């Protein structure tokens, strides 16, 4: 059975808007965050349709500005969300129902992370069938996973564990580096860890644990952006995962943020599940 992705070349949106109902954008004032850093705020807000109430991740193709590819964490479906027009323009199924937490892309293949650490890869194409889906499984420690990102500079994936046995009782965060091979195949390169004390050194408010929910690499600066919904933090690391900045935010800013990505204009977007709010959202974030 084949599933089709619709064409996605669109014009640049030239206005700043806040979408107060599904599929409609209206003007809004830029509002400063009440975070302790006072530097994190939403420039635009997109209210999502009910199909995406449980949005768990988003990504952009290298040539994509206004088209986000998003996951709803209970379904094996990638939705094509048009930010300019505020609607789902297409969707395709890559697998059965499951617990899908993150999506990223190298421009040729999509990579989808399940909460158990399995990673599904399939081509970015006008014609995709489930027979072309490859699954990388059983190579990561048993645990819970929600964050993964593509490293364009090194052609690798980086995955962090949200809850793993190796990190319990230790002030560290375990990560994995995976080589991206031909045809979207993956191989384990190495396991590594971040010393969480390095974060506490630049932010006294930081606790001794971290539960990542989203990850993205900013290609223009080679910085890693790690999002934690539980801890209500956005952390910025250098290329070697040395902590540089810590940004706190409040629940009223982002109900349940679990996705983060940059488009081809170097604009940062965060997606938030509905949680106890009325809708799920995608936010375009300004950082100064």
Query: pLDDT tens, 4-14?
Result: 333 333 323 33
Strand partners, 266: none
Residue 4: DSSP 8-state: -
How far is 228 from 214, CA to CA, in rounded Å? 7
Closest by CA position to 199, among listed 238, 157, 249: 238
pTM for the structure as a whole: 0.85
The pLDDT of residue 131: 62
Q: Exposure string (b/e) for 174-204, b if CB count within 10 Å is 16 or more? A: bbbebebeeebebeeeeeebbebeebbeebe
Longest pairwise C-alpha distance within the chain: 54
Question: Any idea where the domains of the chain sit in the sequence?
Answer: 33-287
pLDDT band at 19 (very low <50, low <70, confident <90, very high): very low
Cα→Cα distances 166→24, 61, 144, 227, 242, Å? 46, 34, 12, 21, 20
Q: Is pLDDT above 50 for 167?
A: yes
Residue 41: DSSP 8-state: E
How far is 139 from 95, CA to CA, in rounded Å? 20
Q: Span 33-287: which CATH code?
A: 2.120.10.30
Range with the poorest average pLDDT among 15-24, 37-46, 200-209, 251-260 = 15-24
């Amino acid at each position: 059975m084949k599933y089709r992705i619709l064409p996605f070349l669109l014009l640049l949106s030239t206005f700043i808007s806040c979408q107060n109902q599904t599929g409609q954008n209206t003007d809004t004032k830029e509002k400063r965050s009440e975070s302790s850093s006072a530097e994190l705020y939403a420039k635009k807000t997109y209210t999502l349709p009910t199909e995406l109430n449980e949005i768990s991740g988003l990504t952009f193709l290298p040539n994509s500005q206004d088209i986000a590819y998003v996951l709803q964490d209970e379904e094996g479906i990638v939705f094509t969300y048009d930010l300019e027009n505020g609607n789902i323009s297409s969707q395709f199924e890559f697998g059965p129902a499951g617990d899908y937490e993150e999506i990223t892309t190298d421009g040729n293949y999509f990579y989808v992370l399940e909460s158990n650490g399995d990673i599904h890869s399939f081509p970015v194409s006008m014609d995709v069938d489930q027979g072309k889906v490859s699954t990388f499984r059983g190579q990561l420690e048993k645990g819970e996973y929600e964050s993964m990102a593509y490293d364009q500079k090194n052609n690798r994936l980086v995955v962090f564990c949200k809850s793993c046995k190796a990190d319990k009782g230790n002030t560290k965060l375990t990560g994995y580096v995976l080589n991206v091979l031909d045809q979207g195949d993956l191989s384990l390169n190495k396991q590594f860890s971040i010393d969480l004390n390095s974060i506490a050194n630049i932010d006294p408010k930081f606790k001794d644990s971290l539960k990542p929910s989203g990850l993205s690499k900013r290609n223009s600066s080679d910085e890693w952006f790690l999002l934690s919904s539980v801890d209500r933090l956005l952390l910025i690391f250098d290329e070697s995962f040395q902590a540089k900045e810590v940004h706190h935010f409040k629940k009223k800013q982002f109900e349940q943020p679990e996705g983060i990505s940059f488009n081809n204009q170097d604009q940062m977007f965060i997606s938030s599940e509905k949680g106890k709010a009325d809708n799920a959202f995608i936010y375009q974030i300004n950082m100064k």
